[in-house]
Chains A and B, each alone.
Chain A
Amino acid sequence: MLGETGPEWLSEEVKTGTTIIAIEFNGGVVLGSDSRVSAGASVVNRVMNKLSPLHDKIYCALSGSAADAQTIAEMVNYQLDVHSIEIGEDPQVRSAATLVRNISYKYKEELSAHLIVAGWDRRDGGQVFATLNGLLTRQPFAVGGSGSSYVYGFVDAEYRRGMSKEECQQFVVNTLSLAMNRDGSSGGVAYIVTIDEHSTEEKVVLGNNLPTFFDQ
């Protein structure tokens, strides 16, 4: 049919193509994400922060459909607020992850988003939970998003137990940089969030400060 249908990206679903990673260290967690949101071949947001707070010391990393992921995060943020008022203290990371998992599992046919939940609580310290497709599993570290495929080998080889906070931050930046170089749906800047008993620190690593490799 002749006539204008408009540019392709108007009819493409907006996805956070993405690379996300969360890793636990003794006393806290480090989360990291890229910043690209794509609709087909078009980058609709090159500076989106995909690390979304669920509570003071609990964050989640978004991937998959941008709308689905953001909505889940907002719903869980509300539910956690109510829950923490009911119990009269800060919620556990496991509770937040369970709330995310319950939504992901109940609506698994309609939704296409994967959230990694990570944070610090008084009972178990730093924890990372993966909630892919409605499962709930605690892991020392988790990667997700389209860019994660390219760095499975790297994280398998480089991860060691007992890394310090600074080593974890470097590990996250390196992993994101490698994934962003290979995945067309990941790119932009790297957002890093470090959560421990004392503080929650958000940091941005701009493109020119990311690690470079032999062919750059």
Chain B
Amino acid sequence: MAAAATMMPFFGQRISSKNDLVPDWVSQEVSTGTTIMAVEYDGGVVIGADSRTTTGAYIANRVTDKLTPIHDRIFCCRSGSAADTQAIADVVTYQLGFHSIELDEPPLVETAANLFRASCYRYREELTAGILVAGWDRRKGGQVYCVPIGGMLVRQPVSVGGSGSTYIYGFMDSNYKPGLSKDQCLELTATALSLAMERDGSSGGVVRLATISEEGVERRVILGNQLPKLHREKQGFNRSCWNTTASIC
């Protein structure tokens, strides 16, 4: 909320949030509270995000698009400060576009991830940005790179981020296994995001999904009433991925 802060600098500082004349959220930074997720499959990646942007307790945008294109087959999922992540994404989009023209071929996902990491690490003290970079290129196929706050870079087959991600680590660990198909990845992502949105106050709205592969980018939206239903009666979500010693499945 850098814009609001400069528009009313005295307002925010002189009148405290305890004063009823001024609501809390005018002095709060705009953050994409968020849950984001990216999964690799053989031939591409599936990415997903919720759609809530908050300033304190107020939902500034309930239909945000946190899946931002960086290049034809490279996207990033943004979490943290909305302003910081938008600014970084704009810079990287420019740098990558330029690089791609120089190279005269589509850029690598790893290159895009490194450009994000370079900015996030250099300005780590000033920024609050957690980003997932995902896409497809001809050399390595579908790839997911995680650039969390602080600016490290690591490639992972599946990654979650944002405030809501803490609630779905257990679900993700138990339900992901290597070799899932594209549709299984879509279902996993949609279910994981729904679970996180139900538990995290800063995540909510609709589920935005995208699939990136050699053929191109396919986007879809799952509205609130169409979200995967939880609390199944008899069947658990996917019991066959257990490799436990005592099995009752």
A interface residue numbers (CB < 8 A to B): 149-162, 166-167, 170, 173-175, 178-179, 181-182, 209, 211-215
Contacts and interface: CB of A to CB of B under 8 A. Distances in A.
B111 interface: no
A155 B198 CA distance: 12
B195 interface: yes
B178 interface: yes
Closest 10 pairs (CB-CB, A-B)? A151-B170, A154-B170, A153-B168, A153-B171, A153-B195, A178-B170, A211-B244, A152-B167, A150-B169, A154-B171
B174 interface: yes
A213 B230 contact: no
A152 B194 CA distance: 12
B173 A182 contact: yes
A211 B171 contact: no
Given A155-B170, A178-B169, A178-B173, 16 more contacts: A153-B172, A153-B199, A154-B174, A156-B171, A157-B237, A160-B232, A160-B233, A160-B236, A166-B248, A174-B242, A179-B170, A182-B169, A211-B244, A212-B244, A213-B243, A214-B173
A194 to B, nearest CB: 14
B241 interface: yes
A149 B167 contact: yes
Nearest to B195: A153
B196 interface: yes
Contacts of B246: 170, 173, 209
A153 B175 CA distance: 11
Contacts of B237: 157-158
Contacts of A209: 245-246
20 contacts: A149-B166, A149-B167, A150-B167, A150-B170, A151-B170, A152-B170, A152-B195, A152-B199, A157-B230, A159-B231, A160-B234, A162-B234, A170-B246, A173-B246, A174-B242, A182-B170, A211-B244, A212-B244, A214-B173, A214-B177
A3 B235 CA distance: 62
Interface in B206-237: 230-237
A174 B233 contact: no
Range, interface on chain B? 20 to 34
Interface of B: 166-178, 191-192, 195-196, 198-199, 230-237, 241-246, 248
Given A156-B198, A158-B237, A212-B243, A178 B232 contact: no
A7 to B, nearest CB: 27
B192 A153 contact: yes
Nearest to B197: A153
Nearest to A215: B173
B230 A211 contact: no
Nearest to B239: A158
A179 B168 CA distance: 11
Contacts of A161: 233
Contacts of B175: 157
A155 B171 CA distance: 8
A2 to B, nearest CB: 30
A94 to B, nearest CB: 25
A214 B233 contact: no
A213 B173 contact: yes
A181 B172 CA distance: 12
A152 B235 CA distance: 18
Contacts of A211: 242-245
A160 B233 CA distance: 5
Nearest to A174: B174
Given A153-B199, A182-B173, A214-B176, A158 B236 contact: yes
A82 to B, nearest CB: 40
A214 B157 CA distance: 11
A153 B167 contact: yes
Contacts of B199: 152-153, 156
Contacts of B233: 160-162
A35 to B, nearest CB: 18
Nearest to A166: B248
A156 B166 contact: no
Could you say which of B177, B192, B234, B246 has the most chain A C-beta atoms within 10 Å of its C-beta? B246
B248 to A, nearest CB: 5
Could you say which of A158, A161, A166, A215 has the most chain B C-beta atoms within 10 Å of its C-beta? A158
